[in-house]
Amino acid sequence: MIETMKFRKTLRAGDREEVRRLVEATGFFRSGEVEVALELVDENLAKGEEVSGYHFLFAEREGKTLGYLSFGPIPCTLGSFDLYWIVVDPQEQGKGVGRALLREAEREIASQGGRGIYVETSSLPLYLPTRTFYERCGYQIAGGFPDFYAPGDGKVVYAKSLPPAGRGE
């Protein structure tokens, strides 16, 4: 079913509620985190991706949003990008949607001159599948900060170097 999936880069006003639905459906994120995901949508819609710095990819099949990803260049760097969010509908998890979104984002970032991607996640046991996902996709732990989000909830930073656009995958 991955072969019938399509990607969309243009953010539409109705995507705000789709982002809310997806982020809330995972059960991973607190209300403040949901609001941050929505702020990125609002910034993009108000200012455009070039000014806001927030780029989006949506995975869709037959009009249904399967998941989304957002990323952007890191200010004051040359070719470093943050991966802000990658969220897959719980009914679609484990079917390759997240991996396909990530590959497409890596291609897009490389085409924009990106050299590396950085992503942060929680060290809590709840996030073990997330950390395993990044590792299986070729990301390596670049650092960590104990008790970053809360006592007992550290930040784990993953990184992946990208080949120059047009060379390699």
10 falls within a domain: yes
**Residue stretches of the chain with pLDDT short of 70:** 1-2, 165-169
What percent of the residues of the chain are helix, what percent strand, and what percent coil, each to the nearest 5? 40, 35, 25
54 falls within a domain: yes
143 falls within a domain: no
Element (H, E) at 70: strand 64-73
Reduced to 3 states (helix: H, G, I; strand: E, B; else coil), residue 133 is: helix
Residue 1 has a pLDDT of: 55
Residue 165 has a pLDDT of: 66
What sign for the dihedral angle of Cα 105, 111, 116, 120? Answer: negative
Q: Rounded distance, CA 146 to CA 154, Å?
A: 4
Residue 156 has a pLDDT of: 98
Domain containing 10 equals 2-120
156 falls within a domain: no
Amino acid at 42: D
- The CATH number that applies at residue 51 is 3.40.630.30
Residue 166 has a pLDDT of: 57
Amino acid at 37: A
Counting every residue written for the chain, the total comes to: 169
113 falls within a domain: yes
Amino acid at 66: L
Q: The tokens of 39 are what? A: 């702020």
Residue 35 has a pLDDT of: 96
pTM of the complete model: 0.92
Q: Rounded distance, CA 77 to CA 157, Å?
A: 17
Query: How many structural domains compose the chain?
Result: 1
144 falls within a domain: no
109 falls within a domain: yes
147 falls within a domain: no
